Amino acid sequence: MFWQKDIETISRRALEALQLKRLKQTVRLACKNIPFYQENFSALNIKPRDIIALKDIQKLPFTAREDLRANYPFGMLAVDTEQVVRLHTSSGTTGKPKAIFFSKKDISQAAELIARCLVMTGTTKGDVLQNMMTYGLFTGALVMHYGAEKVGVLVIPAGPGNTQRQIALMQDFKSTTLHITPSYALYLASVMGNEGIDPKRDLSLRRAYLGSEPYSEETRNKIEKFFGIDVYNSYGLSEMNGPGVAFECMEKNGMHLWEDNFIMEIIDPETGENLPEGEKGELVLTTLCREAMPILRYRTRDIVMIIPGRCACGRTHRRISRIIGRSDDMIIIRGVNIFPQQIERVLMGIKAVAQNYQIVLEAYDRITVRVEISKDLFDGRVEHLVNLRNEITEKLRSEILVRPTVELLEPGTLPVTEGKATRVIDKRTL
Ligand code: AMP
Ligand code: ZN
């Protein structure tokens, strides 16, 4: 099923022609109205008319997170403030936030992209979407909300947290679709499990959209199995509208990135050089349709690869892999590069492991993995725990190549976060 079949299945040739036309417009707009780009263009001695072919994008300057911060609050705006109808900010742990502006047209365009994603995964009029992302300055909930309304779906703006109320809403209004972070979905599963709720028997759920933080295929499997649903990966970032940038179709084999709205490049994060399809690198995105705040070559810091080949669903927009890591999440322990997702993948593949875990980095490059395990393993038989600890330690060691200390915890010991979970506590710099 398609929301905009002609554009979703457009030929590559026509798509590239459209991208080039929109790229030229975007570059002109950015250069005319945003002093940051004017300065950068003159420093590099380039002009908008130097963009003749798509590959000329490589001549353009990158935009970094720090540039958005440095130009906070209004510096990156390309239109009069009267034309702005919404402000969002991007989450960030340090310093000032980044201001993201939307014109009326931008809001509508972001909703169109979400509508494509929903229809692509079978959500349509008559479905009930329980939106469990945070409403407010964060883009996650509102952008999804507007897109779902566009399709004609009944949206429950539940927001995150208050798990008992969430369950009651699912029961009373027969929610079919969830929009939720993977960490909250795992938590929800453990609460339901403890209360004897079997979603397959007691609820009407059919699918869930999981995004906003990295998770592994193992976590997807765990959630699909418990809830008896299809889980689709959803990728986005506030700087590029929020959710709806790339989304899985029913093939569940990579996320179609809407290339009529964004140009994607994969670069080597060290050198900034473009990498070929199929190689892992940092995703760089250029907006093609944004009016209030066009952004050129934005360095997402997210490490992905483009999946080569056509998708069986018929869409021609290329797919990106699951986010392999964020370049700034990478941990270096005893000279070995480790992404927290590698640890997650191992843990979620072990049946006895419950939903919550934490990675603690300590002085002298020691790494401790604290992990909650199923209640029934605390049965008084110490050897069960010792065996499990050895199994987890060994599996982690073979994945990350350093031996962690593993601590087993009872369920409910670690803090639960409603938004993005904090998985890594770095005490090395404290
Ligand atoms: P925000 O600034 O709050 O919009 O967060 C955007 C960031 O969340 C992205 O740059 C990614 O690092 C992360 N993110 C969003 N969706 C996903 C996903 N499906 N998988 C992994 N990471 C994601
Ligand atoms: Zn597809």
pLDDT of 367-392, one tens digit each?
999 999 988 888 878 998 999 999 99
How many other β-carbons are positioned within 10 Å of the β-carbon of residue 109? 18
pLDDT of 233-252, one tens digit each?
999 999 999 999 999 999 99
How many other β-carbons are positioned within 10 Å of the β-carbon of residue 406? 22
Tell me the C-alpha to C-alpha distance, in Å, between residue 281 and each of 92, 264, 277, 303, 384: 22, 12, 10, 5, 41
How far apart (Å, rounded) are the C-alpha atoms in residues 326 and 424?
13
160 lines ligand 1 (CB under 6 A): no
Ligand 1, atom nearest to 323 Cα: 21
Residue 63 pLDDT grade (very low, low, confident, very high; cuts 50, 70, 90):
very high
Q: How far is the CA of 62 from the centre of ligand 2 (A)?
A: 29
91 lines ligand 1 (CB under 6 A): yes
Alpha helices in 195-305 (DSSP H): 199-202, 217-227
Run of H or E including 116: helix 104-120
149 lines ligand 1 (CB under 6 A): no
β pairing state of 298-304 and 331-333: unpaired
Ligand 1, atom nearest to 98 Cα: 2
Q: What is the pTM of this model?
A: 0.92
pLDDT at 150 over 80: yes
β pairing state of 207-211 and 230-237: parallel
User: Which of the listed residues 89, 284, 323, 345 should we mutate to test ligand 1's pocket, taking the one with most ligand atoms within 8 A of CB?
Assistant: 323
Q: How far is the CA of 212 from the centre of ligand 1 (A)?
A: 4
213 lines ligand 1 (CB under 6 A): yes
